[in-house]
Amino acid sequence: MTEETTHFGFKKVATEEKEALVGEVFTAVAAKYDLMNDMMSGGVHRLWKRHFVATSGIHQGDLVLDLAGGTGDIAKLLMPQIGKQGKVIIGDINQAMLDVGNDRMIDAGFMGRFECIQMNAEKLPFEDNSIDAITMAFGLRNVTNKQQALNEMYRVLKPSGKAMVLEFSKVNSSVLKKLYHFYSFKILPEIGHFVANDRDSYQYLVESIEQHPDQETLKSMFERAGLEMCGYENLSGGIVAIHQGYKL
């Protein structure tokens, strides 16, 4: 029997091994993850995330599942959106990332308005039709079976619920693409080595971006999951894109 394989960055690995390998990466970078994002993007990731939440259409009182939300940055931004009657469930497969997010949310004074749960996006621990909205920022590319994760989002969303994914995508300018590629593969791993003494983890993060589906492919995957009114918005020339779809 042929062993099923998937990508871990540019490497091909057994499908059953990827979850553990990704876990090792994020355990290694958890403590300095947000600092590294600042250095890698010049702080622009914060603007992307603010726009992502500001345009989410999430309402006061909503129950929101923030997948791959470990460090709590999206959850913090969601607090004014959901109000005191709403709640954010921070879901992440990596406990080290969740520990960072839990401490951050408590320090910010949000006790009782959030919950951190370790979970796999491919098998969400919720009943059908139970979540008002799902957000996922810079996490889908690390999921082994992305289509299954989108299928699960559709399953747990309430009718009229919305799924939103902010993720690195494909640059639509040839000049910008060359500059971005050089920066990603030549500079970013060295930043990882200098700041976190961990070149390999950041090399993987760069490679995982390169392997992620482009905008139209991901849109079709949203549709295949059953989501409707699917679309995307490119930010920074397509370096990242916000995808969305509704369960009608």
Amino acid 1: pLDDT = 43
Q: Establish whether 128 is an annotated binding residue.
A: no
Residue 94, exposed/middle/buried by CB under 10 A (0-12, 13-18, 19+)? buried
Read off the pLDDT of residues 136-164 as tens digits, 9 standing for 90 and up. Answer: 999 999 899 999 999 999 999 999 999 99
Q: Does 75 count as an annotated binding residue?
A: no
Q: Shortest CA distance to 22 belongs to which of 204, 207, 148, 209?
A: 204
What does the pLDDT read at residue 83?
96
pLDDT of residue 190: 83
- pTM of the entire structure? 0.88
Q: Where are the domains of the chain?
A: 5-173+201-246
Q: Map tokens 């995957």 to a residue.
A: 221
Averaged pLDDT of the chain:
89
Cβ contact 171:209 at 8 Å: no
How far is the CA of 68 from the CAs of 73, 92, 119, 149, in angstroms? 11, 4, 9, 11
108 belongs to an annotated ligand binding site: no
* Residue 144 annotated as part of some ligand binding site: no
Distances from the Cα of 238 to the Cα of 14, 120, 242, angstroms: 31, 28, 10
Low-confidence ranges of the chain (pLDDT < 50): 1-2
Question: Could you tell me which of 100, 99, 97, 101 has the C-alpha nearest to residue 74?
Answer: 101
Q: What pLDDT, on the 0 to 100 scale, is given for residue 81? A: 96
Q: What is the structure's pLDDT at 174?
A: 84
* Class (C level, CATH) for 5-173+201-246: alpha beta
